[in-house]
Amino acid sequence: MRGRSEVKMFVGVTDHQWFQRLRALRPDDVNFWRPSGRGFAALEPGDPFLFKLHAPWNAIVGGGFFVESIRMPVSQAWMAFEERNGVADVDELLTRIDRYRPGQAGRGPADPVIGAIVLTQPFFFEDADWLPAPADWSRNIVSGKGYDLAHGVGREVWQAVLERLAVHGTPDVPELDATRDENRVWVRERLGQGAFRTLVTEAYQRRCAVTGERTIPVLEAAHIVPYAKRGPNRVDNGLLLRSDLHRLFDRGLVTIEPEALTFRVSDRIREEYSNGRVYYDVADKPLLILPASAEHRPNREFLAFHRSSIFRP
């Protein structure tokens, strides 16, 4: 079991504009992106990540719970999170990257790589609830600082955050003495839409499960049991599909056989559209791409639901 002394918290530095946009949006998850594209290994899933504003505010204004850190191109970050990136559109995201690493976005790759820190269950304090910067905070801290939640300043800050969450009835928080596996389960059951898209995309190695296509702009994370039918935002309820296959899957014109994990195509495509050769050419063949982790592979109960309740033979 992970002891309390091992539970970490990270206070990340961000700007007022990013915070204000997301506070107004109230999303189910956020991308706390880093323009440098560096990785982030300070937290385990379920650990808290707090937002601290730059000067002149110098205050802790909210936070969320760590899911995963991934290096990804801007196009993927926008497809997964859209306004949950804290910007209005992808052009604004590129402009912000230029601001923080001048010359590298506009003059470098057309689709620069950024570091995505994926957070779920975000919370945003009203101005009156903002917390002052931690007592040991130094002016020369640029990106953020990690803390131990069981002792000292970290414990004091987290207790103040918990008091505000309790008053405003914001979401439950993971137990600090839980095992890492328990925290992973807690996070997995609370993924937002952006986190779902991101984790499914990474689980399938950024390739279409059926065709192996790897062109990111045409790949989409599909729910096996639709979200509208209370399908969970879990990786095992997802498939990474080329956009046309995603549409056919949602309309019940293709499915995945639960046991064999083969691609099945409805006769209705041929009958109703007098077409579909590109789909029939890959019919009855096994999926080309599957997640390496068994827990992320398509859940057979979810696939059985799709075949019996959504697929139209």
Count of C-beta atoms within a 10 Å radius of residue 222: 22
Helix (H, G, I), strand (E, B) or coil at 139: coil
| 116 contacts 198 by C-beta, under 8 angstroms | yes
- CATH 3.40.640.10 correct for 4-188: no
Token readout for 109 is 């790759």
Backbone angles phi, psi at 38, to 5 degrees: -70, 155
Give yes or no for residue 4 having a pLDDT over 90. Answer: no
Give yes or no for residue 128 having a pLDDT over 50. Answer: yes
| 112 contacts 97 by C-beta, under 8 angstroms | yes
Reported as a pLDDT band with limits 50, 70 and 90, residue 115 is very high
- 3-state SS of 28-58? CEEEEEECCCCCCCCCCCCCEEEEEECCCCC
How far is it, in rounded angstroms, from Cα 49 to Cα 32? 10
Report the chain's mean pLDDT, rounded to a whole number: 92
Using one digit for the tens of pLDDT, what is the confidence trace for 269-295? 999 999 899 999 999 999 999 999 999
Give yes or no for residue 7 having a pLDDT over 80. Answer: no
Bridge partners, residue 31, by sequence: 118
Using one digit for the tens of pLDDT, what is the confidence trace for 181-209? 888 888 888 999 999 999 999 999 999 99
Domain ranges for the chain, please list them.
4-188, 204-310
Q: Which long-range contacts (CB under 8 A, 24 or more apart) does 271-277 make?
A: none
Which position has the higher pLDDT, 149 or 85?
85
How far is it, in rounded angstroms, from Cα 188 to Cα 210? 25
| 179 contacts 2 by C-beta, under 8 angstroms | yes
Reported as a pLDDT band with limits 50, 70 and 90, residue 251 is very high
Using one digit for the tens of pLDDT, what is the confidence trace for 142-191? 899 999 988 899 999 999 999 999 887 666 787 766 777 888 888 888 99
Whose tokens are 């109230």? That residue is 26
Percent of the chain predicted with pLDDT > 70: 94
Q: What is the pTM assigned to this prediction?
A: 0.90
DSSP letter, residue 170: P
- Rounded to an integer, the average pLDDT of 123-146 is 94
pLDDT in the model for residue 73 = 93
| 258 contacts 225 by C-beta, under 8 angstroms | no
pLDDT in the model for residue 220 = 97
| 97 contacts 115 by C-beta, under 8 angstroms | no
Using one digit for the tens of pLDDT, what is the confidence trace for 201-236? 999 999 999 999 999 999 999 999 999 999 999 999
